[in-house]
Amino acid sequence: MDSGQVEVRSSKIPRHVAIIMDGNGRWAKQRNRPRFYGHRAGVEAVEEILQACTNAGVQVLTLFAFSSENWHRPSQEVQLLMDLFKSALSSRLDRLQEWNVRLRIIGDRNGLSEELRSEIAKAEALTATNKGITLVVAANYGGRWDITQAAKQVAVKVENKQMTSDSITPEVFAAHLSIADLPEPDLFIRTGGEQRVSNFLLWQLAYTEFYFTDILWPDFDKTAFAVAIETFLQRERRFGRTSDQVESFHRV
Ligand code: FPP
């Protein structure tokens, strides 16, 4: 992997970046091509941003590839997206290995085809012990689904008397969410001009810095990513404290 492209290496670099990759369809339309052409170009952007994140020292990159709501798209587009996801998983697996990437897929796997589920299991198993960046791909994922599945796990434990309702704290509850073992996102990026969360990591984004850009996802390259990181580095993260408290905390 080449280095030095993102010249923002610093200890304040976000540990976890979460991205909604929006704008593939419009990118294709601008070129008078079918929407799928944009999604294919989107996979190339994924590779570039994965590399940029690794070079910058980001530990976790989470990408929203397919939301619970994306099933409402025309069935042909849904099928093409699923096929693209499956083929990207198998064709890029060698590269993930070479780059030491640990792959995790989050979302409701029951909605995915048997073939895709097996491709996912293979890729996760093969990369499980890799020590580089963790790439989390959200597929058939929704923040509300995540909170609901966590609530069900907690309810079952209470029913089985493994815990009491009194012992449920935000921390205990959060331990049942997807990616509970990873740091929460420091930086959320959405490309494509819309400024909303669209049922992405609802719980996990509570203290995340938001960055929106009009750039369409296939055009979001390492330079655009470096601008997002620079913007993040200029933000003051207070986590509910006052500015003075944050300053004295940094002086300690
Ligand atoms: C949003 O653009 C994009 C998606 C719903 C799919 C994102 C998928 C990829 C980039 C490819 C697969 C990803 C991986 C990780 C292998 P849009 O179609 O909503 O664009 P529009 O708003 O311009 O119509």
| Residues 211-231: tens digit of each pLDDT | 999 999 999 999 999 999 999
CATH superfamily of 10-142+183-238: Decaprenyl diphosphate synthase-like (3.40.1180.10)
Could you tell me the end-to-end alpha-carbon distance of the chain, in angstroms, rounded to an integer? 37
**What is the chain's mean pLDDT, rounded?**
92
Burial class (CB in 10 A: 0-12, 13-18, 19+), 210: middle
Q: Answer yes or no: is the C-beta of 23 below 6 A from any ligand 1 atom.
A: yes
Task: Confirm whether 32 is a catalytic residue.
Answer: no
Task: Provide the strand spans (E) within the chain.
Answer: 16-20, 60-67, 102-106, 134-141, 187-190, 209-212
> What pLDDT does residue 247 have?
64
Q: Answer yes or no: is the C-beta of 22 below 6 A from any ligand 1 atom.
A: yes
Measured from the Cα of 29, ligand 1's closest atom is 23
State how far the Cα of 123 lies from the Cα of 245, in Å rounded to an integer.
45
**DSSP summary character for residue 195:** -
- What residues of the chain score a pLDDT lower than 70? 1-11, 238, 242, 245-252
Task: Confirm whether 22 is a catalytic residue.
Answer: yes
> What pLDDT does residue 8 have?
43
Residue with CA closest to ligand 1 atom 10: 42
Catalytic residue among 2, 32, 55, 70: 70
83 is in an annotated binding site: no
Q: Answer yes or no: is the C-beta of 192 below 6 A from any ligand 1 atom.
A: yes
Residue with CA closest to ligand 1 atom 22: 23
Q: Helix (H) and strand (E) counts for the chain?
A: 9, 6
The model's pTM: 0.91
Q: Answer yes or no: is the C-beta of 70 below 6 A from any ligand 1 atom.
A: yes
